[in-house]
Amino acid sequence: MWRISRYSKRQIGTGGCLDLDLTHSSMLMIVSLERQHKGVYGHDYRFYLTDAVEDVPEYLVDWENFVSLASESGLRLVYKRAFHEILQEEKDSRDFGPLLGKMGVLNEYGESAMDADQWEAANLYMGFAFEKM
């Protein structure tokens, strides 16, 4: 599970567990979780990203259960990487390198153009792929 999934009350901040009273106008994202959730799948949280995403529902799942369910459906995990790993692997790619520059992820020197808050938000995510067995 992602780090944010272990908190049981509303959390606001750029990562970690921050007190609600510590919000600041320069923060990049807000993540809020339900107080309680019953079940393995679909623990929803609300995600707000300054100047980009407006209070979008997203869902957490227990990774091992997710892979097991995929396996029961005839799928095999072939790829799983954190965002920063994907960036390192693909930044020099002929296909993805220029796209990362256009998106403002890399600067003209091929280095990260993201600040610490943007990195924190991006690293909430991972890429994964399954293939049919």
* Maximum average pLDDT range among 16-25, 33-42, 47-56, 104-113: 104-113
CA 122, CA 130: separation in Å to the nearest integer?
A: 22
pLDDT band of 97, cuts 50, 70, 90:
confident
Q: What percent of the chain has a predicted confidence (pLDDT) above 70?
A: 59
In whole angstroms, how far apart are CA 4 and each of 25, 29, 43, 55, 119?
A: 21, 13, 11, 16, 15
CA 18, CA 23: separation in Å to the nearest integer?
A: 8
In whole angstroms, how far apart are CA 47 and each of 52, 85, 107, 119, 122?
A: 11, 22, 26, 15, 12
Q: What percent of the chain has a predicted confidence (pLDDT) above 90?
A: 2
Residue 15 scores a pLDDT above 50: no
Edge-first strand listing for the sheet containing 11-12: 11-12, 29-33, 43-49, 53-60
pLDDT digits (tens, 9 = 90+) for 48-85: 666 666 667 777 777 888 889 889 999 888 888 888 88
Contact 14, 28 (CB under 8 A): yes
Residue 29 CB neighbour total at 10 angstroms: 19
pLDDT at position 89 is: 87
3-class SS string, 75-119: EEEEEEEEHHHHHHHHCCCCCCHHHHHHCCCECCCCCECCCHHHH
